[in-house]
Structure 1
Amino acid sequence: MSKLERRYTGRVTAATSTTPRAIAVDGKTLRGSRTPATAARHVMTACDQLTGVVLASTTVDGKTNEITRFAPLLDQISDLRGTVITADALHCQRQHVTYLAQRGAHWILTVKGNQPHLHTQLTALPWRAVPDATRDTDRGHGRREIHSLKILTISTGIDFPNAAQAIQIRRRRRRLDQPKRFTTETVYAITDLRVHQAQPAQLAARIRNHWSIENKVHWVRDVTYDEDRSQIRTGTGPEVMAVLRNAAIGALRLTGVTHITAANRHHARDSTRPLALLGIT
């Protein structure tokens, strides 16, 4: 964890101390860092779901993958007790849930084809007899999405450590310029959270907020800061610039900013404003 990331971790903890914290683990490839001789760099981050602030990051080099960097990434966060970790299907790993149990953390993990036996077990559950627990609609980036969520308490028959509830998420998506064309995707997830620890609306919010990290962090880095076209490739330059972009986004998010582009223009007009934002006098 960089000093810049460490600077904001405490502020995020204080800002979210009234509710159980949820952290999304996700990776992003720095596409502009690719050279004819080397692959593009890949960075994995842990983001506070509520604020969209990056709490920790780690490089995933060509000799390893995100799975081996999961624990080292979260080791950078001193206290995970009671925290809910969300991650995509790549991280639905037994060693990950063992690690999180040792840290006193809970988890919600997506399940896909990389765990074929578990995925088959989840799809075979009697979902048709289960009513929707939540249903919500979202608009953004030229499309409309309808999310519905069903939940089943697991007693036996699911071969995964500490799994307490199974979740089915259905996403119906259409582009606003093509109102009659819908695509439907069904995704499954599991969690160690029991019914008394997380109501359906809370589970839905944490799953939805995990996906929103793409909009709050990755999309901003690509569109506002033009990260994928950055030609910085020497040494650790690409990773350092990713940390600086994360820090800039985090500093703005913690002040309540929702429109990063407008906030950048505001701070660019007066050189004292960025210093005040960072607490430098």
Structure 2
Amino acid sequence: MGGASSFAAITDWVHDLDEHGRSRLGFGDTVPVATTMWRLLTRLDPSLLTTVLAGWLHTRTRPPKPPRRYRRVIAVDGKTLRGARLDGGRQVHLLSALDTTTGIVIAQVTVDTKSNEITSFVPLLDAVEKVLGSLAGVLFVADALHTQTGHATEVTARRAHLLVQVKGNQPTLFKQLKRLPWAQIPVGDRTRDRGHGRRETRTLKAVTVATPGGIGFPHAQQAIRITRTRIVAGRTSRETAYLTVSLPAGQALPRDLQTWIRRHWHIENRLHHVRDVTFREDLHQARTGTGPAVIATLRNTAIGWHRATGATNIARATRQASHQSNTLITAVTSSYPTTQ
């Protein structure tokens, strides 16, 4: 929370506390040396740690007053810890689930180095369910890698929903979506953005497909096409994306779909980017034991806590917090009533 971005920095922060601060954390006349702190943090169970800390944040975060048509949207995405190289040049890869409303990482699992994110999806669902208690009504938004029939079946079995992009890894489904009569389907929603010398228009069309002869993806209720038109320095580019969602039209209007699809970028812009830039994650070479996953979890928790306290600039928030050790100690040791 105070911006310590490595095991050594965490140790220095503890050693720099005054006597009162050490006492509040339960330390006597001595505090752990760097090697003790390192041994502890490289042996923790990262999945259990994530569950405990996510639950801790979850009970202390009061989400914004929900609008009438509120739905919890969780973005799923993976990130490679580029500095944490294992034997043989392998790298640690983590799959995370971000609550896009609160900015809290609900769950994070380590992807087996001999596999990929696909096999880690169900364990991630298990971890999310452990924190939330139930997945009923939750919408998971993921990239094309997770456009898997097994994922769709598993999510539906837990009474949740799935919104995924379709690309070349599902060629038959991609062709089915592309061949739908989009020219005859009216525009459902259109948004325009301007900034950084760029103008972008996002046009969304959606059509119900849960009928005999629909598309070949289990539990899909709607097919979606988004056309993005960008104008940068006078040059125009156009990109088309196809997606499916397991929510019917009555529960997922075009403007809802537009919003939910864009929320998937939150996990990249509001989490992974912050871990890289503010906490310099890709430069950190911790690779012993569970150390890489553990310190990533601590970074997630710090970011989530600052967001929960209203911060929009995490770098500035950590700089301010670094001078307020007693405030941070109070935050992690005080009892709070459950707000959710």
TM norm structure 2? 0.76
2:223 counterpart residue number? 166
Q: Which amino acid is 1:26 matched to?
A: D
> Does the 8 A contact of 2:165 with 2:241 survive in 1?
yes
Q: Are 1:261 and 2:315 an aligned pair?
A: yes
Q: Which amino acid is 1:152 matched to?
A: V
How far off its partner does 1:200 sit? Answer: 1.1
> Does the 8 A contact of 2:177 with 2:223 survive in 1?
yes
1:44 counterpart residue number? 95
1:75 counterpart residue number? 126
Query: How far apart in 2 are the matches of 1:22 and 1:30?
Result: 25
Q: Which has the higher contact order (CA 8 A, sep 6+)?
A: 2
Q: Are 1:34 and 2:34 an aligned pair?
A: no
Cα root mean square deviation, aligned: 2.1
How far off its partner does 1:7 sit? Answer: 1.4
Query: How far apart in 1 are the matches of 2:171 and 2:160?
Result: 25
2:55 counterpart residue number? 6
Q: Are 1:101 and 2:149 an aligned pair?
A: no
The answer for unaligned runs of 5 or more in structure 2 is 1-46, 336-340
Query: How far apart in 2 are the matches of 1:16 and 1:121?
Result: 39
Q: Deviations over 1:131-163 (max 9, x none)?
A: 322222345677553322111111333111111
TM norm structure 1? 0.91
What secondary structure does 1:234 align onto? coil
Q: Which amino acid is 2:206 matched to?
A: I
What secondary structure does 2:107 align onto? strand
> Does the 8 A contact of 2:156 with 2:219 survive in 1?
no
2:186 counterpart residue number? 131
Query: How far apart in 2 are the matches of 1:207 and 1:257?
Result: 24
Query: How far apart in 2 are the matches of 1:84 and 1:38?
Result: 36
Equivalent position to 2:237, from 171, 175, 183 = 183
> Does the 8 A contact of 1:251 with 1:278 survive in 2?
no
Please identify the structure whose Cα radius of gyration is greater. Answer: 2
The answer for unaligned runs of 5 or more in structure 1 is none
Query: How far apart in 2 are the matches of 1:138 and 1:216?
Result: 19
Query: How far apart in 2 are the matches of 1:186 and 1:272?
Result: 51
> Does the 8 A contact of 1:251 with 1:277 survive in 2?
no
How far off its partner does 1:119 sit? Answer: 0.2
Query: How far apart in 2 are the matches of 1:131 and 1:54?
Result: 37
2:140 counterpart residue number? 85
Distance 1:142 1:257, change over 3 A: farther
Query: How far apart in 2 are the matches of 1:42 and 1:182?
Result: 36
Equivalent positions of 1:207-218 (< 5 A) are 207-218=261-272
Query: How far apart in 2 are the matches of 1:253 and 1:269?
Result: 18
Q: Are 1:219 and 2:285 an aligned pair?
A: no
Distance 1:70 1:140, change over 3 A: farther
> Does the 8 A contact of 2:63 with 2:101 survive in 1?
no
What secondary structure does 2:272 align onto? helix
Q: Deviations over 1:216-269 (max 9, x none)?
A: 111111111111111212221111111011000011111221111111111112
